[in-house]
Amino acid sequence: MIDTQNIHVQKIENSKIGQVDFNNIPFGKVYSDHMFMADYAEGDWKNLNINPYAPIEMSPANPSLHYGVSIFEGLKAYKHENGDVAVFRPDKNLERLNFSARRMCMPELDESVYYDGLDTLLALDKQWVPSVPGTALYIRPFVISDDDYIGVTPSVNFKFMIITCPVGAYYAKPVRVKIETEFVRAVKGGSGACKTGCNYGPTLYPAQLAKSQGYDQLIWTDGREHKYVEESGTMNLMFIINGKLVTPETGDSILNGITRRSVIELAQAWGVEVEERKVEVAEVMAAIKDGSLQEAFGAGTAATIAHIEVIAYEGKDYTLPDIAKREFSNKVLKELDDIKYGNKEDQFGWLRKI
Ligand SMILES: *Cc1c(COP(=O)(O)O)cnc(C)c1O
């Protein structure tokens, strides 16, 4: 059912779907047929429309290009066995998009614009939600400036867009991570808790350096002392230490991940003790050495759960316990997948059916 009351829909003439090999999808390179767009001008969201996916025009003086005035989200839609399409916790993404908007002097999004856009776009491109096990449709909502003014000042015109791309089965390989003690991602008082473009560009160089040293990702530490572990690239960081789920508390410098929150809520429902607090690098290293660290993983929309196999610190690699023996992270990964793919009752009300 496509509600076109508020949205002007221009359908594509010839769908590109026939050209896609759903068994072999390169991440982030294949986009579905349509995109959603709305304009913000004179204090209101307006001109809601869906068009064939295509390049957009903008002024070369657009502040998003020069100063990182942009915010984004990442979420996924899953195909169920009965053909239903369900989006995982989109309400949390809207909340976080509006949190980012306030920090970046950008307008908050109306709930109706967000859901009308999301629902109509997904209904139109429903066949783009892949059904091969492990695959999903990645959804990227974002807001950019639409000003033609190069001054460093809040913009007045904006564009909200949603683009989507099918993504392949993400068989998350266990990762090797390096505890970063030189470069900084975020600090107290900064914008690290926002999904804003300007947080990611500066992480590419330290991540590339870690890659060249044989690591998949970094574990960022606090920007003042490099004393506390914070998070990992695009995933939050979680540990099982002495049977407890221990994770750095969120704040200015740690992204408030929806996967992280979901893992915590499941752990609590299962009676697992959860500690959200500052976690010292020294504590993690001591727990590795005395054997009380049982599991370590990253939590994020892309991989859901990425087991950490090796942690490097001060030039030395530490190998963590056998992945097969990691009871909690394996169980929570399966539970989240079962809920997302509709194989288990959605008892928390996390799914939005399209
Ligand atoms: C998006 C993101 C996460 C994970 O958040 P989810 O909502 O679970 O996808 C973690 N850290 C950073 C820096 C991110 O950008």
Q: Which domains does the chain have, with CATH numbers?
A: 7-168 (3.30.470.10), 175-340 (3.20.10.10)
- 264 contacts: CB under 8 Å, gap ≥ 6: 245, 247, 274, 276
As beta bridge partners, residue 279 has 229
Distance from residue 321's CA to the centre of ligand 1 (Å): 25
Residue type, 163: I
Q: What is the 8-class DSSP label of residue 254?
A: B
- Helix segments in 51-200, DSSP class H: 63-67, 90-103, 111-124
State the CB neighbour count (10 A cutoff) for residue 160.
26
**Which of 151, 93, 155, 144 minimizes the C-alpha distance to 118?**
93
Residue whose entry in the numeric block shows the structure tokens 């909340």:
95
Residue type, 303: A
Distance from residue 259's CA to the centre of ligand 1 (Å): 8
By three-state DSSP, how is residue 58 classified?
coil
Residue type, 298: G
- 99 contacts: CB under 8 Å, gap ≥ 6: 193, 194, 256
Minimum-distance ligand 1 atom for the alpha carbon of 256: 5
> Measured between alpha carbons, how far is 142 from 197 in angstroms, rounded to an integer?
10
Question: Torsion angle, CA of 265/266/268/273, rounded to 10 degrees?
Answer: -110
What is the reported pLDDT for 1?
39
Q: Which of 184, 218, 235 to mutate to test the pocket of ligand 1 (most atoms within 8 A of CB)?
A: 235
Distance from residue 231's CA to the centre of ligand 1 (Å): 9
What is the reported pLDDT for 2?
45
Please write down the long-range contacts of 15-23, taking CB distance under 8 Å and 24 or more positions apart: 17/127, 17/128, 20/166, 22/130, 22/131, 22/132, 22/135, 22/166, 23/132
- 175 contacts: CB under 8 Å, gap ≥ 6: 216, 217, 298, 306, 307, 308, 309
Please give the distance of CA 193 from its chain centroid, rounded to a whole number. 12
60 half-sphere exposure, CB direction, 13 A CA radius? 0
For residue 339, what is the enclosing H or E element?
A: helix 327-340
What is the reported pLDDT for 168?
85
Q: What is the 3-state secondary structure (H, E, C) of 12-49?
A: CCCCCHHHCCCCCCCCCCCCCCEEEEEEEECCEEEEEE
**Which of 269, 289, 282 minimizes the C-alpha distance to 350?**
269
Q: Which residues are near ligand 1 (CB < 6 Å)?
A: 74, 195, 231, 234-236, 255, 257-260, 299-301
What is the reported pLDDT for 134?
86
By three-state DSSP, how is residue 316 classified?
strand
What is the reported pLDDT for 27?
83
Contact (CB, 8 A) for 241 and 293: yes
Q: Residue 56: is it exposed, middle or buried by C-beta count within 10 angstroms (0-12/13-18/19+)? A: exposed
Question: Which pTM was predicted?
Answer: 0.96
Residue whose entry in the numeric block shows the structure tokens 């709930």:
111
Q: Going from the first residue of the chain to its last (354 residues), give the mean pLDDT of each consecutive group of 10, the final group possibly shorter.
A: 71 95 87 98 96 97 97 97 96 98 97 97 97 92 97 97 91 88 96 96 96 96 97 94 98 97 98 98 98 97 93 97 96 97 96 96
State the CB neighbour count (10 A cutoff) for residue 243.
11
**Which of 40, 47, 105 minimizes the C-alpha distance to 71?**
105
Q: What angle, rounded to 10 degrees, do the helices at 258-269 and 327-340 form?
A: 110
What is the reported pLDDT for 3?
46
SS3 of the chain: helix, strand, coil, percent, to 5: 25, 30, 45
Q: Which of 185, 203, 255 to mutate to test the pocket of ligand 1 (most atoms within 8 A of CB)?
A: 255
- Show the tokens assigned to 130: 């892949």
Q: Which of 234, 237, 297 to mutate to test the pocket of ligand 1 (most atoms within 8 A of CB)?
A: 234
